[in-house]
Amino acid sequence: MELTERKLKILQAIITDFIRNAEPVGSRTLSKMFDMGISPATIRNEMADLEEMGYLYHPHTSSGRVPSDKAYRLYVNNLMDRYELDLAEKQRIRRELHLHLEELERTVRHASELLSEITNLTSFATLEDVRDMNLFLQGMTRIFAHPEYNTIEQARNFLEMVDNRETFADELAERDEGLTITIGGENSNRIVAGSSIITATYHVDGRRVGKLGVIGPTRMRYSEITSVIEYMSNNLEKTFKMLEGGSAEPDDEN
């Protein structure tokens, strides 16, 4: 079965709506909220095809559909629009990092706190040295604002995962360089089911120092969050140069 332009348009609309509202999406919702130019009956048929292809699934408590991990992967790779941070957002990040320009560990810890505050997710930062890797976790209670973690079992599993910091740090150490997004089942079984992780690597003088990132539900604002993490990791590197007395404050264009 072919993934046509119309199917892609419908799938993108479903993912966009589900990320925003956390509710299964039905054909009537799509017909009303998005200008598809086709009838609800046609949308239903296309949604049935997308379900058969593994991009959607049908929760037993609802007539709507929910994106699968496969759908989110397609979305991240091919469908999502690039989110550009506005000037105020960039200035806030630079200002916060500059105001907390302290020794390396405290600066990294504050960067993680700021990332959690901006994204409303649990954030983390790693700091490598010759002996071991330090892990800083921030905003662990923020994850419970998301309905995916509202069950007792999911909440307990998440807290157990982040409480075992050594195992979680090992998981992060195994991730690829650069910006990396792993979605749901792409993660190892050491990560809570239904979670996604986004990380970016940061460096000092070309040497990898650690990773900065977030963990949250697969229903994540991928475009916005990846832009925030990329911008923060880049400015963290510039902040480290300032710590070493190597440069002035980053300008407003970066």
Range of the structural domain that residue 58 is part of: 5-79
19 and 220 in contact (C-beta within 8 Å)? yes
What pLDDT, on the 0 to 100 scale, is given for residue 191? 87
What pLDDT, on the 0 to 100 scale, is given for residue 59? 83
The pLDDT tens digits of the residues spanning 103-118 come to 788 888 999 999 999 9
Residue 108 and residue 72 in one domain? no
The pLDDT tens digits of the residues spanning 135-181 come to 999 999 999 999 999 889 999 999 999 889 888 988 898 888 899 99
Mean pLDDT, the chain, integer = 88
Residue 228 and residue 162 in one domain? yes
Say how far apart CA 96 and CA 89 lie, in whole Å: 11
The pLDDT tens digits of the residues spanning 38-48 come to 888 899 999 99
For the question of whether the overall pTM of this predicted structure is more than 0.85, the answer is yes
Residue 75 and residue 119 in one domain? no
Residue 36 and residue 140 in one domain? no
Within a domain: residue 173?
Answer: yes
Within a domain: residue 248?
Answer: no
Whether pLDDT at 34 is above 90 = no
Residue 125 and residue 158 in one domain? yes
Residue 91 and residue 163 in one domain? yes
Residue 14 and residue 54 in one domain? yes
Say how far apart CA 83 and CA 212 lie, in whole Å: 19
